Structure 1
């Protein structure tokens, strides 16, 4: 393969890796209720994003498969192409053949790893996390189409991984839990107070509201005959009295 063609394939593989990374993080970071609202409003891509969130395990397996294929492509196409271009230049500078090949290989690996991490993973991840709902609606239609094309393979891989998870006595889940339970929220309040994010008074109030739902509402009501009231046209003196 010629060097210009290898560069072109490298760009495509980086774009592909970035696409799968962004789609993966978008589906994880997007809020379910916002997607449901967008789907109800008929916004483009919201239905596909919501469907992807409902089978999140399968979609994440598809993203990992896509990222792996792109990574292998960069290793088999981009790294040798860069190495073969550098090797003659280094020999021209007087390096022995054995040394020049090793240096060219190391430089090519550093360049490819850097491009893959920054362009193919970190930048798309940051973009998807910054705009999760918008990126989910934008990427999900194509992402779901690609996953659908290789669904049997992904289901097989996902079944094997779920089997390994069950061996660790953990039940696999296809989607994220949409809500937190009372214990998790109480712990979150305590941690927020410890870190100084909320005051002790606010922490007490929130904790009591989370731990007191067992009290019957009737016990908290004030009977009408015990309520002190004034006429609607009462003046300031009457109100103060």
Structure 2
């Protein structure tokens, strides 16, 4: 070791090995930290480097195997060369201890912490170029990698891990909702709300958004023909149900555009109205919205009659109602357009008892429970467990309510406001 050339060569080789150690360390972190969904999108778009990384991540045991084989080889070789250099300067006794201490510090800083931290922050900048080296290196070292994987996979099977192929991370609905929320400025807030609403369609049934039967405006064939014609001419709806005597006896759905056919004739009969009506489309009340949306598309329908388990009509639901659950109301100010909610000067709201709880929550930003009764009247009666004899005040969560009017065993109006204190009580 008296010749400076071999010593300089050893120093150069040691520096190269430290760089290789940093490469393998950063490659491991970069390959495992890369965004799998962005990677899959790029690979699907035909990007070659993304496809190469996907192939390596398809078998993570082989990828980790070739990285660790290379990393351990260069680290052990670097330790041997560092020991030779240290013995040259510090002697046989002190040299190994000095080499171990200094090399540990150097590798820890320059070949472990720094490159791995950078790879964790910028995985794309490491994973893509590293795959150019790792893929051919895996082919060269495949016999050794196969042997190491065979032993390690056998140990993993003893621990209950049977599938070691990287088939991607499948997201649950709640996890996907979190991903949407954490997208930040990459997805506009309005679009985030729409995506989350689509995910929530499965948790909402047609019974939650339907127009209840007492609010359904239809054509009763038992009425006088003049009254029916006046109703058709002044109707604000595009499609109306046609029934006889009772809404449970629905004959069909009349599109008012088709009404022009018999209105243009000199004589209009009820038979002509029935002839233009389309066969009704019935929907079970427990049908989830995402299923009904597909059913509307499949059946080429825009409106359906909601029935309960006994076949009685509960109300009707339209395609527009479901779309509003996704994109929001089609009005600019929901609270001002909702005829069931009447803002007051003191900040409270006088709400009709027949108002839908979900509509109240959306209009006012409240969190009234929706897993029970669908209307404000039903919610209040559920909490009181009896019909009030007179004015009653109660609190449901942070929302305080004062019953203003009761008629025919129906709470027709209540004054509601949201308070800071959360209490559940009822007083008369």
TM-score (structure 1 length as normaliser): 0.70
Structure showing the higher helix proportion among its residues: 1
CA displacement 1:199-240 (0-9 Å, x = unmatched): xxxxxxxxxx9xx8764643333249669x99x99xxxx947
Match among 64, 71, 95 for residue 68 of structure 2:
64
| Displacement after TM superposition at 1:107 (Å) | 1.4
| Displacement after TM superposition at 1:62 (Å) | 0.7
2:79·2:99 contact (CA, 8 Å) conserved in 1?
Answer: no
- For 2:50 and 2:123, the matched residues in 1 are separated by 12
Does 2:26 correspond to 1:10? Answer: no
Secondary structure of 1:45's aligned partner: helix
Consecutive unaligned residues of structure 1, counting only runs of 5 or more, are 88-100, 189-208
Rg larger in 1 or in 2? 2
Match among 128, 143, 153 for residue 152 of structure 1:
143
Does 2:152 correspond to 1:161? Answer: yes
Count residues with an aligned counterpart.
201
- For 1:52 and 1:216, the matched residues in 2 are separated by 42
Consecutive unaligned residues of structure 2, counting only runs of 5 or more, are 179-196, 218-235, 238-329, 340-428
Q: Larger relative CO (CA 8 A, sep 6+): 1 or 2?
A: 1
| Displacement after TM superposition at 1:112 (Å) | 1.0
Name 2:56's counterpart in structure 1. 52
Question: Over aligned residues, Cα RMSD in angstroms?
Answer: 3.5
- For 1:121 and 1:86, the matched residues in 2 are separated by 27
Name 1:113's counterpart in structure 2. 104
User: Structure 1 residues 130-139 or 176-185, which shifts more?
Assistant: 176-185
Does 2:43 correspond to 1:39? Answer: yes
| Displacement after TM superposition at 1:73 (Å) | 0.3
- For 1:140 and 1:14, the matched residues in 2 are separated by 19
Match among 200, 208, 220 for residue 220 of structure 1:
208
| Displacement after TM superposition at 1:161 (Å) | 0.4
1:27·1:56 contact (CA, 8 Å) conserved in 2?
Answer: no
Name 1:202's counterpart in structure 2. none
Measured at CA, do residues 42 and 226 of structure 1 come closer, stay the same or move farther in structure 2, by a change above 3 Å? same
Structure showing the higher strand proportion among its residues: 2
Name 1:173's counterpart in structure 2. 164
| Displacement after TM superposition at 1:38 (Å) | 2.6
CA displacement 1:98-156 (0-9 Å, x = unmatched): xxx43332112111111122111211111110111232112111111111111121011
Name 1:24's counterpart in structure 2. 28
- For 2:53 and 2:10, the matched residues in 1 are separated by 34
- For 1:161 and 1:15, the matched residues in 2 are separated by 27
Measured at CA, do residues 160 and 215 of structure 1 come closer, stay the same or move farther in structure 2, by a change above 3 Å? same
User: Structure 1 residues 73-82 or 54-63, which shifts more?
Assistant: 73-82
